[in-house]
């Protein structure tokens, strides 16, 4: 579940690891973006989207949204567990900090500066210089596959990123869909001696954790027999054309063909 297309990265990761898994993608793109909303509003919307997914009785629910995980994970778990294991998405601060920094965390305005994110920095990046970079408009631009708006939002965030940053945490799942565009914007700011920019998303780790929670080992060579159910605002639909603008969307089972 996610507000919108940000769930594609985690869904594609699950599909790579278990091509035979049936996937239910639940989102509410009409309510995008969630980043500027109040925590109470995010909780209410996240519970509705999670409830729509839970009605399909999944083996596990991935909250593939950093903003929802920051504000609504406890409420979703209280509602669904222990019947349905709920896996949240945590910005990859810990693995990013292992490189020693400096590190930038790109995230939505709601996540940037939140006690949750500050706690991750305190717990896993002690002694590492970390810059929190709010990226207003980027998730919304990615949601609509608006190339011009994506480039503008990425450029604005890159301008706020210190020149010596060698590692960027993608603290919103939408950002993972445009990771290479982020790399192209930040890499030229580094010195040649700094080497390639390191980008840290969460999709692979979250997918692997979901499989562990249900006792299912990855089987990437399995027959790609899984089905795809797409819920938009609780209604069964097809993948939106904007989802198919990204390789992650196109990699999912063909059941989710775009609406005309």
DSSP string, 195-243: -SPEEE-SHHHHHHHHHHHTT----TTS-----EEEEETTEEE---TTG
- Same domain? For 40 and 83 the reply is yes
- Same domain? For 81 and 163 the reply is no
Q: How far apart are CA 1 and CA 8, in angstroms?
A: 9
- Same domain? For 155 and 210 the reply is no
pTM for the full model?
A: 0.91
Q: How far apart are CA 30 and CA 57, in angstroms?
A: 24
The CATH number linked to 225 is 3.40.50.1860
- Same domain? For 14 and 25 the reply is yes
- Is the pLDDT at 260 greater than 50? The verdict is no
- Same domain? For 231 and 248 the reply is yes
Q: How many domains does the chain have?
A: 2
Higher pLDDT among residues 39 and 97, named by residue:
97
- Same domain? For 168 and 235 the reply is no
pLDDT digits (tens, 9 = 90+) for 12-59: 999 999 999 999 999 998 888 777 788 899 999 999 999 999 999 999
pLDDT band at 256 (very low <50, low <70, confident <90, very high): very low
- Same domain? For 63 and 19 the reply is yes
Q: Considering the chain, what percentage of its residues have pLDDT values greater than 90?
A: 77
Domain that holds residue 17: 5-89+203-256
- Is the pLDDT at 222 greater than 90? The verdict is no
Q: Of 170, 200, 230, which one is at a domain's C-terminal end?
A: 200
Look at 42-46, 66-70, 152-156 and tell me which has the smallest mean pLDDT: 66-70
**What is the reported pLDDT for 259?**
39
- Same domain? For 104 and 192 the reply is yes
Active site residues: 65, 172
């Amino acid at each position: 579940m996610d507000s919108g297309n940000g769930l594609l990265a985690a869904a594609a990761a699950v599909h790579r690891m278990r091509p035979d898994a049936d996937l239910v993608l639940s989102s509410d793109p009409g309510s995008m973006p969630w980043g500027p909303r109040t925590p109470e509003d995010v909780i209410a919307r996240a519970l509705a989207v999670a409830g729509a997914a839970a009605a399909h009785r999944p083996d596990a629910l991935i909250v593939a949204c950093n903003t929802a995980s920051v504000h609504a994970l406890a409420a979703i778990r209280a509602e669904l567990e222990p019947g349905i294991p709920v896996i949240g998405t945590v910005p990859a601060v810990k693995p990013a900090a292992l490189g020693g920094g400096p590190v930038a965390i790109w995230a939505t305005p709601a996540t940037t500066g939140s006690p949750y994110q500050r706690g991750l920095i305190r717990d896993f990046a002690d002694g590492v210089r970390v810059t929190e970079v709010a990226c207003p408009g980027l998730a919304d631009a990615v949601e609509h596959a608006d190339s011009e708006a994506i480039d503008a939002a990425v450029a604005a965030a890159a301008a706020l990123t210190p020149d010596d940053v060698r590692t960027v945490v993608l603290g919103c799942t939408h950002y993972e869909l445009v990771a290479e565009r982020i790399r192209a914007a930040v890499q030229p700011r580094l010195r040649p001696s700094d080497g390639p920019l390191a980008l840290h998303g969460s999709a692979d780790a979250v997918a692997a954790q979901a499989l562990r929670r249900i006792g299912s080992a990855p089987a990437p060579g399995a027959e790609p027999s899984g089905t795809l159910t797409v819920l938009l605002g609780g209604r069964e639909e097809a993948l939106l054309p904007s989802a198919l603008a990204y390789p992650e969307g196109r990699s999912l089972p063909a059941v989710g063909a775009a609406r005309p």
